[in-house]
């Protein structure tokens, strides 16, 4: 059964300021600003859209949608695809999984409602360049003018796959997501039963061993020879630290070589940022608990691929 659509607050709408669009694309974004409600997004874009040259049509959180741009007229949210997109919608990101899934459901339903209003097919990231629902990731890859890759990294962190998103859009509402805890528990149980890594964003010995296997370095489940960087210590396990002259890790060096970096084996902020850019996750040089970067790494390893 479909949920009630979020109320649409138009108090921060900027009105018609741009030209009409001439395509049938609806762009899905996520904010990359953890725990900021829709009001914050809309208020910022309302104040800065001219100087920052960035705004979308709607921002959705777990309770409400704020309108910013005018649907049917260009927003400045996804680079060169903007003129084809009468609607662009931001999903607010939450670390609380219950709020995150509620916001996701409202985001899906608003997207489907707007898609039907503007003649947008309920397809996701297919090869049609002027029709369909597209993620910012697809827009960046297909049209350029932007290097963002949202929302897939964030969706993965709350247990939503691309296939689930496509299914929900086609159904017209979120299906089978359940509670946040049950979603994560099911994902972990499925991974365990299939002999795969739990996609939980936590970097431990199992993730390290799989990395060592795919990069063909000695397999011991330990990231050795690291300086005790504050940007991840406490969020990872099985790392060995040296405060004076750390020798580095062979598997980290292998990852650095694949990214075109100096292969010193030290997982410092610059290496983490390069990994985040390659993964399409927020770039801050930090590995946090339940890290989106680590979720990406685990997903790639479960698919039998080198993450970088």
Contact 298, 307 (CB under 8 A): no
- The number of residues in the chain equals 308
Q: What is the pLDDT of residue 33?
A: 85
What does the block give as tokens for 191? 């991974």
Q: What is the mean pLDDT of residues 95-102?
A: 92
What does the block give as tokens for 122? 């309920």
The pLDDT of residue 199 is above 60: yes
- What mean pLDDT is reported for the chain? 89
288 vs 76, which has greater pLDDT? 76
The pLDDT of residue 185 is above 70: no
3-state secondary structure (DSSP) of residue 146: coil
The pLDDT of residue 298 is above 70: yes
Question: Which residues 6+ apart lie within 8 Å of 44 measured at CB?
Answer: none
Cα angle, residue 109 at apex, residues 63 and 2 outer, rounded to 5°? 90
pLDDT category of residue 34 using cuts at 50, 70 and 90: confident
Q: What is the pLDDT of residue 109?
A: 94
Q: What is the mean pLDDT of residues 55-78?
A: 97
CB atoms within 10 A of CB 192: 11
The pLDDT of residue 22 is above 50: yes
> What is the DSSP annotation of 40-102?
HHHHHHHHHHHHH--B-SEEE-SSEEEE-S-TTB--BSSGGGGGG-SEEEEEPP-SSHHHHHH
pLDDT category of residue 184 using cuts at 50, 70 and 90: very low
pLDDT single digits (tens) 205-262: 999 999 999 999 999 999 999 998 888 877 898 899 888 889 999 999 999 999 999 9
Q: What is the pLDDT of residue 4?
A: 53
The pLDDT of residue 3 is above 70: no
Q: What is the pLDDT of residue 176?
A: 60
CB atoms within 10 A of CB 206: 17
Q: What is the mean pLDDT of residues 168-172?
A: 93
pLDDT single digits (tens) 105-127: 999 999 999 999 999 999 999 99
Contact 294, 238 (CB under 8 A): no
Q: What percent of the chain has pLDDT over 90?
A: 72
Q: What is the pLDDT of residue 141?
A: 92
CA torsion angle 110 43 161 307 (round to 10): 160
Q: Cis link prior to 151 (omega < 30° from 0)?
A: yes
CA dist 75 and 52 (Å) reads: 12
Q: What is the mean pLDDT of residues 272-289?
A: 92
């Amino acid at each position: 059964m479909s949920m009630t659509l979020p109320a649409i607050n138009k108090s921060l709408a900027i009105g018609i300021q741009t030209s009409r669009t001439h395509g049938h694309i609806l762009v899905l974004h996520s904010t990359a600003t953890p725990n900021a409600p829709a009001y914050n997004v809309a208020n910022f874009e309302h104040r800065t859209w001219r100087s920052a040259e960035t705004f979308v049509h709607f921002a959705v959180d777990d309770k409400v949608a704020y309108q910013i741009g005018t649907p049917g007229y260009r927003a400045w949210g996804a680079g060169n695809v903007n003129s084809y997109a009468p609607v662009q919608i931001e999903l607010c990101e939450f670390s609380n999984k219950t709020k995150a899934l509620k916001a996701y459901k409202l985001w899906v339903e608003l997207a489907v409602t707007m898609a039907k209003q503007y003649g947008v097919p309920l397809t996701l990231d297919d090869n049609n360049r002027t029709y369909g629902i597209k993620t910012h990731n697809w827009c960046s890859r297909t049209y350029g003018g932007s290097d963002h890759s949202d929302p897939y990294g964030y969706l993965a962190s709350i247990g939503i796959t691309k296939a689930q998103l496509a299914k929900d859009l086609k159904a017209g509402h979120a299906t089978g997501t359940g509670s946040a805890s049950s979603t994560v528990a099911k994902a972990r149980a499925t991974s365990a039963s299939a002999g795969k890594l739990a996609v939980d964003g936590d970097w431990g010995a199992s993730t390290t061993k799989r990395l060592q296997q795919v990069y063909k370095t000695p397999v011991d489940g330990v990231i050795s020879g690291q300086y005790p960087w504050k940007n991840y210590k406490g969020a990872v396990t099985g790392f060995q630290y040296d405060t004076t002259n750390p020798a580095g890790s062979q598997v980290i060096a292998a990852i650095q070589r694949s990214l075109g970096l100096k292969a010193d084996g030290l997982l410092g902020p610059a290496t983490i940022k390069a990994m985040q850019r390659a993964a399409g996750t927020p770039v801050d040089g930090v590995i946090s608990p339940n890290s989106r970067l680590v979720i990406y790494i685990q997903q790639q390893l479960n698919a039998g691929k080198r993450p970088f």
